[in-house]
Amino acid sequence: MSERRALPLIDSFGRRHNNLRISVTDRCNFRCTYCMPEDVTFLPQQHLMSFEEIARFAHIAAGRGVDKIRLTGGEPLLRRELHKLVAMLTSIPGIKEVGLTTNGLLLGEHASSLVEAGLRRLNVSLDTLDRDQFRRIARRDGLEKVLDGIERARVVGFGPIKVNAVAMKGSNEDQVVPLARYCRERGLELRFIEYMPLEAEETWQRGQVLTAAQLRDMLAEAGMPTQPIPRSDPSAPATDFEYTDGKGRLGIIASVSEPFCQSCNRIRLTAEGKLRNCLFALEEVDIKTPMRQGASDAEIASLIEGNVVDKWEGHQINSAGYVRPPRTMHTIGG
């Protein structure tokens, strides 16, 4: 078993996978238009993987070279006592980094316990600073509470704190500059994410995408020109830039206009225990059922290996062969 554990997770295209994204729940307290439907039925609690099952899977994956974990949802802070899972994951040998992506609504209440459990890296979704626009996109109120949560996270010592904004033409393009200024003033790193075809209503059109090039042009016109930073991690999904005046950094995840599939290093575990080798995967591997039926660590490791080996070259958003996955974003984990 020790020899097996030393082998990395490499797919048929030579990509090494060390990054695991774990969805802890499909539930959310928002209904963002680009992520999930307004009317949705969530999974019963007993269908979710337990903290112990998640930690066991992470331990097995760590033995195969996974060293980065990110907790997602739905909204992960809706999972009760999430700090206990964080503590379990940060104690796994080989895990160097545990991060969290949240919509920030409950962040103020949980920031201290998460830091105490060992969490340091934090991404907060924030698409607009305009209250009416926020309500229109999230289909819920809560902007002030999200902003308060970000401030609380700064106070208790999170670092770095990244702000994720989905950039959409005809929706929040007027917020590109205000969000950049907000983050620059507070030492936060803004990350724009191109709008992807994973929304529930299936109304996505390529013309709604604000591309990386367009975003940089908008910032330059507002007096905030940027320049690229050499990649320290070629597998990172975001292309990093720095403002030429030295006041901060910016990341852009250009999944549509500049796909980074050739360097992807991620696997994803859904809240109900399905392993996915791509955000846009059409097939999944059941992990939870074998675990509950008594599968050994070696058998679970074999399932992970097979899923990685079967990974395709890329999502094909820009080709005629693109097939939309049957899941929406909130059931995958982003």
Residues in binding site for GTP: 21, 70, 101, 162, 266-268
* Long-range contact pairs involving 35-41 (C-beta distance under 8 Å, separation at least 24): 35/198, 35/199, 35/200, 35/328, 35/329, 35/330, 36/200, 36/328, 36/329, 36/330, 36/331, 37/200, 37/201, 37/328, 38/139, 40/200, 40/330
SS3 41: coil
Cis peptide before 160 (omega within 30 of 0): yes
Q: CB-based contacts of 33: which residues, under 8 Å, 6+ apart?
A: 137, 139, 171, 199, 201
Residue type, 148: D
Q: For the chain, what is the radius of gyration of the CA atoms? A: 19
Residue type, 73: G
Q: Which residues are annotated as a binding site for [4Fe-4S] cluster?
A: 28, 32, 35, 261, 264, 278
Q: Which residues are annotated as a binding site for S-adenosyl-L-methionine?
A: 34, 74, 125, 196
End-to-end Cα separation, the chain, in angstroms = 32
% helix / strand / coil in the chain, to the nearest 5?
Answer: 35, 20, 50
Q: Which residues are annotated as a binding site?
A: 21, 28, 32, 34-35, 70, 74, 101, 125, 162, 196, 261, 264, 266-268, 278
Residue with tokens 């949240």: 102
